[in-house]
Amino acid sequence: MLPNRSRLSVLVFLLPPLLLYGAAVLFPIMQSLFLSFFSWNGISDMEFVGLANYVRMLTGDDIFWRSFFNALGYLAICLVLQLGGALLVASLLTSMRRGRELIKTLYLLPAVISTVAIAFLFARIYSIEPAGLLNQLLHWIGLGFLERPWLSDINTVLAAVSAPEGWRFTGLYMLIIYAALLSVPQELEEAARLDGASRWQLFTKIRFPHIMPVWITTMIMATTYGLRGFDIPYLMTNGGPGQSSELLTTYMYKTAFTSTDFGYASTIAVFIVVECLVAVGLILFMLKRKADA
264: how many CB neighbours lie within 10 A of its CB?
26
Amino acid letter, 103: I
**Smallest separation, CB 79 to other proteins (Å):** 16
Buried b (16+ CB within 10 A) or exposed e, 55-90: eebeeebeebebbbebbeebbebbbebbbebbbebb
- Residues 72-101 within binding reach of other proteins (CB under 8 A): 85, 88-89, 92-97, 100-101
DSSP string, 206-269: IIHHHHHHHHHHHHHHHHHHHHT--HHHHHHTTT-STTTT--HHHHHHHHHHTS--HHHHHHHH
For position 146 contacting other proteins by CB under 8 A, the verdict is: no
Under the phi-then-psi rule, with left for phi > 0, alpha for psi from -120 to 50, and beta for the rest, what region is 239?
A: left
Q: Which range, of 47-55, 120-128, 147-155, 238-246, touches other proteins by CB under 8 A?
A: 120-128
For position 105 contacting other proteins by CB under 8 A, the verdict is: yes
According to CB under 8 A, which one of 220, 238, 240, 287 is a site residue for other proteins? 220
Q: Which of 244/267 has CB closer to other proteins?
A: 267
Calpha distance 54→43 (Å, rounded): 22
- Residues 172-191 within binding reach of other proteins (CB under 8 A): 172-173, 175-176, 178-180, 182-183, 186, 189-190
- Site track 44-73 with other proteins (rule: CB under 8 A), x = hit: ------------------------------
Residue 48 pairs in a beta bridge with 38
According to CB under 8 A, which one of 155, 198, 204, 258 is a site residue for other proteins? 198
Count, residues near other proteins per rule CB under 8 A? 111
For position 27 contacting other proteins by CB under 8 A, the verdict is: yes
Calpha distance 77→217 (Å, rounded): 18
Q: Which range, of 23-31, 58-66, 67-75, 146-154, touches other proteins by CB under 8 A?
A: 23-31
Please return the burial class of 238, using the count of CB atoms within 10 Å of its CB with bins 0-12, 13-18 and 19+. middle
Q: Which range, of 56-64, 72-80, 151-159, 259-267, touches other proteins by CB under 8 A?
A: 259-267
- Residues 233-252 within binding reach of other proteins (CB under 8 A): 235, 249, 252
For position 283 contacting other proteins by CB under 8 A, the verdict is: no
Contact status, residue 260 vs residue 172, Cβ threshold 8 Å: no
For position 276 contacting other proteins by CB under 8 A, the verdict is: yes
Contact status, residue 168 vs residue 113, Cβ threshold 8 Å: yes
For position 128 contacting other proteins by CB under 8 A, the verdict is: no
For position 221 contacting other proteins by CB under 8 A, the verdict is: yes
Residue 39 pairs in a beta bridge with 47
Q: Which range, of 54-62, 146-154, 218-226, 285-293, touches other proteins by CB under 8 A?
A: 218-226
Q: Which of 59/183 has CB closer to other proteins?
A: 183
Residues shown for the chain: 293
**Smallest separation, CB 154 to other proteins (Å):** 20
According to CB under 8 A, which one of 117, 143, 191, 282 is a site residue for other proteins? 117
Asked, as a colleague might, if the bond just before 241 is cis with ω within 30 of 0, I would say yes
For position 142 contacting other proteins by CB under 8 A, the verdict is: no
